Structure 1
């Protein structure tokens, strides 16, 4: 059985960018990739604007909850994608770390949050293509 890649999305509050990325990865990759999220300083709830723009894209993230970043979550991941949390992530050799430079949706109007969502979707689609290459038919 092939190894199932594991991705951890990390942002400060784990309430916007990381939740949107996880929503797209889960929806687009299905069960082919394990998906987790965390925050270095988690919020109390998911950003309502993030919930709205993801619902507009047909993805429901309303049932998610911000989670604290743990060493175990990082250690269990093949890829750790940070989004503005700086050096909060512990480093383990052998894990691929990437930083997606995206503005935080907190406090932004819905049009800006939609543009952040659209950029995240492109990044997630590229990640899926990298982690699960298409096989020749």
Structure 2
């Protein structure tokens, strides 16, 4: 039986993405590190058959986010904008709403990311519609698994209904937002949840601007 090498890709179509990422992060991460992370991202999205379409493209996007988080972890303290990570169970509703709204309101002053402890296959369409009503586009967004890099890179971790599965890393500021789950809710309810999260995001941004 042949044992795969540490940098063997599970899908040959990933090779082009690995090359792009390696060039983009040359001088900071080795091509082997990039390939390892890309292969891991692909497997996390593919198993157990969670993502069936655009898997290669989504694996590259997830890897880019993980590499950016790793780069932040290894950079000088205080370098770059503050990073806020929103975590819920499915990463299809609450955490997507919060990350998108913070990105929209912060206008580049804060980097907002989101992840799920048990991510869904796709973002809730009612959530996407509620954000579109505010001019926020979720076309490029997809539910992502929670990884160690994004937790360690976050200055603030905001949990939203993931219970004991939510991450705990020493040295991070933690907040818990008791926000209703929009999964399966009608559009009017999703809008109320959106507005609740938006008010919390506005308050959070005000405290970040004070520091």
Asked if these proteins are the same fold (TM beyond 0.5), I'd say yes
The DSSP-based 3-state class of the residue aligned with 1:31 is: coil
- Deviant stretches of 4+, over 2 Å: none
Match of 1:68 among 138, 142, 145: 145
In structure 2, the partner of 1:89 is 166
**CA distance, structure 2, for counterparts of residue 78 and residue 6 of structure 1:** 5
Which of residues 98, 101, 116 in structure 2 aligns to 1:21? 98
Query: In structure 2, what is the equivalent of residue 103 of structure 1?
Result: 180
The yes-or-no answer on 1:121 pairing with 2:175 is no
| Structure 2, gaps ≥5 residues long | 1-77
Structure 2 residue 148 is matched with structure 1 residue 77: no
User: RMSD of the TM alignment (CA)?
Assistant: 1.5
**1:4-43 residue pairs with structure 2 within 5 A?**
4-43=81-120
CA deviation profile, 1:81-118 (whole Å, cap 9, x unmatched): 01100121232221011110011101111111000000
User: Quick check: which one's helix share is greater?
Assistant: 2
- Compare the two structures and name the one with the higher strand fraction: 1
Could you tell me whether the CA contact under 8 Å between 1:20 and 1:61 is conserved in 2? no
Structure 1 residue 62 displacement after superposition: 2.7
- The count of corresponding residues between Structure 1 and Structure 2 is 134
Deviations along 1:60-95, one digit per CA (max 9) or x if unpaired, are 113200000112211110100011001212322210
The alignment's TM-score, normalised by the length of structure 2, stands at: 0.61
C-alpha separation in 1, matches of 2:169 and 2:92: 25
